[in-house]
Chains A and B, each alone.
Chain A
């Protein structure tokens, strides 16, 4: 029904399964070199004034601005506010999404009725509902949390349903043949078999919950990083904007990599044919 299903089922970071071996590490140095080259090019373009340095700043200035931002009480406040909002948005999205997903996936009538609509909601730009959230809950950080949770919930649900589809009949038959009660079947077959879907769901819940909170903060001033970035931009403190933006970017990347490492570890049991299917040749 919608176009997003693939992205849901393949978290892009979860797939680099290759083990680190010295002979294979050459590309890491090249990667580092590329990143450095990009930074140098940025610096050069700015210093040679090919573009207006006032608008694009430069890596050295940004680096020098880190203590300024960290010393800015408003910045620290904004980070705390946004961090808290994101945390609660994700918690709501994941919990409601997982419970809802298991319900939607395992009750046939519900699935028949609402899988399609939920899938459609995923394809809708959630931002168009921000005005309704504002009307209903007011202009405050709590609303940012609700909107963030709303942005993430449906991704979690759809992926949990996808996870339930991974439960194989033959494993259920083994459980029956070996006398497993309902509870054991859920605990030892359904839950472990559906973990890949749950993981993908949490992943997309986090990504979209986080994005939702940031979008909300940029749309309407309720404090937090959104307002901070807007303030810095309006004052043309571009190096400070970059400290915040790149800081969040680096945090996102690091968290993403940690997440995929955890997921790799927890899904060791998965047959290599599916786990590494797209590692490439």
Chain B
């Protein structure tokens, strides 16, 4: 009993120390900002007033345009993620069924992952226009390869002992696929999916910043190019908020430790 309580005390002490350090870093950041703003003499075009950014941020929370942009971004995000995950899953499952297929497909997936997809984006714009479909295409192609690679590895790497158990108990081919191979592959496939989620978010925003007609990335580009610096900073805050919520959702829906469910 007392053991746990002291541990807790020590843990608390560590946490306090850590938070003090974090706070110090934050204060340092604002101090530099404040200095640049005041005595440093930096233009508000470069370093906006902290209060202005905060005001803009609060205004954004009531701004219809921001919610529209958010809706566009989220739609692109979800659609790309669904397409990428489903197609990756099908390809990986198909490829994992024979040795030859797996060996041929795996390097293709690795290469697809190695290529900087961003280079194709101007072409995608040319083909699909500046609307939502070009963002979806780009994000899907970026997320597909890591998800498929991880799923393929997952299906191929199923511990042979599970397969033997299945065989020993007379599992049919279908039962083998669903009850054994699929179940055993869940943790690693989930890892792939997590990577895919994060990657889709990143790529959708980049794509919107490069060329788009709506979306959070587009808003950021618009404000920064019209030299509305306080607004640019505020929209960055909005995006950070969205990113934070998104990651919180991922960690709730796709927990790191999925063994229990596998």
Contacts and interface: CB of A to CB of B under 8 A. Distances in A.
Contacts of B233: 132
A4 B247 CA distance: 10
B209 A130 contact: yes
A134 B115 contact: no
Given A135-B45, A252-B116, A278-B157, A128 B150 contact: no
Interface stretch (A66-74, A118-126, A265-273): A118-126
B94 interface: no
A280 B102 contact: yes
A159 to B, nearest CB: 15
A114 B114 contact: no
Size category of the binding interface on chain B: 35 or more
Contacts of B82: none
B197 A241 contact: no
B171 interface: no
B15 A112 contact: yes
Interface string B160-180: 100000000000000000000
A204 to B, nearest CB: 12
B205 A125 contact: yes
A40 interface: no
Given A3-B247, A12-B110, A253-B111, A245 B120 contact: yes
A127 B202 contact: yes
Interface stretch (A42-50, A160-168, A210-218): A210-218
Contacts of A253: 111, 114-115
B262 interface: no
Nearest to A281: B160
A128 B110 contact: no
A3 B125 CA distance: 29
Interface string B227-251: 0010011001001100110010011
Nearest to A115: B18
B131 interface: no
B254 A3 contact: yes
B104 A31 contact: yes
Contacts of A214: 116, 118-119
A128 B120 contact: no
B201 A125 contact: yes
B157 A280 contact: yes
A146 B15 CA distance: 33
Nearest to B127: A55
Given A4-B195, A125-B239, A252-B115, A27 B123 contact: no
B123 A7 contact: no
Contacts of B119: 214, 225, 229, 244-245, 248-249
B247 A2 contact: yes
Contacts of A110: 21
Nearest to A232: B122
Given A123-B243, A125-B202, A125-B205, A13 B114 contact: yes
Contact of A6 (B106, B191, B243): B191
A233 interface: yes
B54 interface: no
B103 interface: yes
